[in-house]
Structure 1
Amino acid sequence: MNLVVTVLEIVTPVFLLALVGFTWVKTGHEYRLEFVTKLTMTLSVPALIFTALVNADIEPAALKALSIASVVAYGGVTIAAWLAIKLLRLDARTYLAPLIFGNTGNLGLPLALFAFGEAGLSYAVVVFAVMALWSFTFGVYVTAGGGSLGKAFKEPLVWATALGALFLWQGWTLPRFAINTLELLGQIAIPLMLITLGVAVARLHPHGLGRAAIISLGKAILCAGIAALAGLFFGLAPVPLAVLVVQIATPVAVTSYMLAEKYGANSDEVAALVVSSTLLSVLYLPLLLALLI
């Protein structure tokens, strides 16, 4: 029961903020999507990623083992998702990134903290960093429809993750005023992204959610299974193993919608995946945690 309450406490604000965006559009107010997307993806989200990594506390040996397991797990999920898309004849630009990348930031990090304490949060940040690097290189490349990989490396998120990982590895930090400023900037990322998600939901057709729910359930099972196999293969301890599985099995990330909107993929279908997978996570995340703890 406590795990169910924990997940509900984390997921409920997601829907309330999305409801703000939904209501805003339905009541006829203007919403400048291009401006909000640029603000979050260029400034706020990079600040959020960098400060999360700088503030993480994890031993070098555990960092190495979990990092390798995370890379292998995401590699396995990528291959499996690509095969599923080919089999189901789905649009890779729209579906590949959402099937690979979960909401490891505003859902995975708090869930790891509440379920496993400060140690769990530190492990979750490592998985989050691996996800961010892969998402904003390969994920951007796929969503943008190919082209030069240089397009992906122009993303501020990539450099924020790389720099944050360097600071974590070396044990560096910034002056307190700089960290405070970046933390404030990062704090606006999650509510803005969720409100923008609500804007997209306001434009959805209800029949699209049924197929999205089936795909989302398949994603959860696929990701959890591959992550568990990777973690067991590399002999992770119980807590980092549990964090790895939960992080990779989180529902579709709001940033997947933002990238689809930015690069011209079918953002409405991605929004349906975000909504349906987040709803399903209320049911499957407590069950998953009960098996892992």
Structure 2
Amino acid sequence: MNLVLTVLEIVSPVFLLALIGFVWVRSGHEYRLEFVTKLTMTLSVPALIFTSLVTADIDPAALTALSLAAAVAYGGVTVAAWLFIRVMRLDMRTFLAPLIFGNTGNLGLPLALFAFGETGLSYAVVVFAVMALWSFTFGVYVTAGGGSIGKAFREPLVWATALGAIFLWQGWTLPRFAMNTLSLLGQVAIPLMLITLGVAVARLHPKGLSRAALIALGKAVLCAGIAALAGLAFGLEAVPFAVLVVQLATPIAVTSYMLAEKYGADSDTVAALVVASTLLSIVVLPVLLALLI
């Protein structure tokens, strides 16, 4: 019973905040999704990443091991997803990116914070950065039929991660007024990302939810399994191991739908994958956390 209550305490704020966004839009209220997304991804999330790393009491070697494990895990997921799509004769542009990339930002970061505290959040931002780098390069390339690695290095969150890692490694910090400002800016990120997730799901128009649910469940199990193998291979300790598994098992990100819409893939099918995987995560993520805590 204590374990159940602990898991509910962790996941309830995450899904309740997303529900607020969902109900807000369904009630007819305005929510400027593009503006909020740009604000969080350009300012508040990079600030959150940087301050989390600078203030983290973590051995830099542990972060290096986690970074390598995350890169290997995403490589394994990419190969597995590609094989699945080829065997099932699905459209590569529509399915590959959603099957690789989970919602490590909107859901993964808050879950890591609530489940494992500030230390867990510091680990989670590393996995998030690895995912973002792969998404901005390979993910865009697959969905659009072309891409540039330069785009990834123009993203503020990539630079925030790099600078935060350097500051952590060297033991540096910024003047107190600067750290306080960035900390306040970063605190905006988590509630906004969760509310925005609910808003985005409320505006999707999915089709084929039954098939999408089966694919989404398979993705969650496969990603968690590959992440666990990568974590064991690199000898990760309990907290970074759990963070890696949870991050990779997060549901399909809304950004996959946005990319499909932008580049002419089957966006309605991707919308179904996003909705189905998000709903399934209400069960999948608590079960994972119960196994990992």
TM-score (norm 1): 0.81
Equivalents in 2 of 1:124, 1:104: separation in Å?
8
Size of the aligned set, in residue pairs, is 293
How many angstroms apart in 2 are the aligned matches of 1:165 and 1:277? 32
Q: Which amino acid aligns with 1:215?
A: I
**Aligned equivalents of 1:283 and 1:174: distance in 2?**
41
Letter in 2 for 1:5: L
1: distance between equivalents of 2:179 and 2:97?
A: 31
Closer/same/farther in 2, CA of residues 150 and 4 from structure 1, 3 Å limit: same
Q: Is the CA contact 2:43–2:185 (under 8 Å) kept in the aligned structure 1? A: yes
Contact 1:203 1:268 in 2 (8 A): no
Distance 1:21 1:65 in 2: 36
1:129 aligns with 2:129: yes
User: Is 1:203 aligned to 2:203, yes or no?
Assistant: yes
Report the Cα distance in structure 2 between the residues aligned to 1:198 and 1:235, rounded to whole angstroms: 36
Unaligned 5+ segments in structure 1 are none
Counterpart CA distance in 1 for 2:41 and 2:259 is 9
Separation (CA, whole Å) in 2 of partners of 1:176 and 1:264: 47
What runs of 5+ residues in structure 2 fail to find an aligned partner? none
Which residue does the alignment assign to 1:179? 179
Aligned to 1:95: 95
Cα gap change, 1:27/1:70 in structure 2, threshold over 3 Å: closer, same or farther? closer
Alignment of 1:15-34 (within 5 A): 15-34=15-34
- The Cα of 1:39 is off from its aligned counterpart by 2.3
Distance 2:292 2:19 in 1: 32
Q: Distance in 2 between matches of 1:151 and 1:185?
A: 24
The residue that corresponds to 2:241 in the other structure is 241
Does 2:85 correspond to 1:85? yes
Q: Tell me how far apart the structure 2 counterparts of residues 268 and 197 of structure 1 sit (CA, whole Å).
A: 17
In the alignment, structure 1 residue 64 sits paired with structure 2 residue 64: yes
Query: Secondary structure at 2:153's aligned position in 1?
Result: helix
Query: Who is 2:287 aligned against?
Result: 287
Q: Distance in 2 between matches of 1:158 and 1:98?
A: 21
Q: Deviation at 1:270?
A: 4.4
In the other structure, the counterpart of 2:222 is 222
Q: Quick check: 43-52 or 234-243, which moved more?
A: 234-243
**Whole-Å separation in 2 of the counterparts to 1:19 and 1:93:** 30
- What is the deviation of 1:229? 1.5
Q: TM-score, normalised to structure 2's length?
A: 0.81
What letter is aligned with 2:232? Answer: L
Contact map agreement 1:257 1:271 (CA 8 A) in 2? yes
Give SS of 2:203's match: coil
Check the 8 A contact 1:143/1:259 in 2, yes or no: yes
1:158 — aligned with what?
158
Structure 2 CA distance for aligned equivalents of residues 32 and 199 of structure 1: 10
CA shift, 1:223, in A, is 0.7
1:41 and 1:92, CA in 2 relative to 1: closer, same or farther beyond 3 A? farther
- Show CA shifts across 1:230-275 (max 9, x none): 2222233344333322222222345545655676766655454344
Shift of 1:145: 4.1
Asked if structure 2 preserves the Cα contact closer than 8 Å seen for 1:54 and 1:173, the reply is yes
- Aligned runs of 1:43-62 on 2, under 5 Å? 43-62=43-62
Does the C-alpha gap of structure 1 residues 172 and 254 become closer, same or farther in structure 2, counting only changes over 3 Å? farther
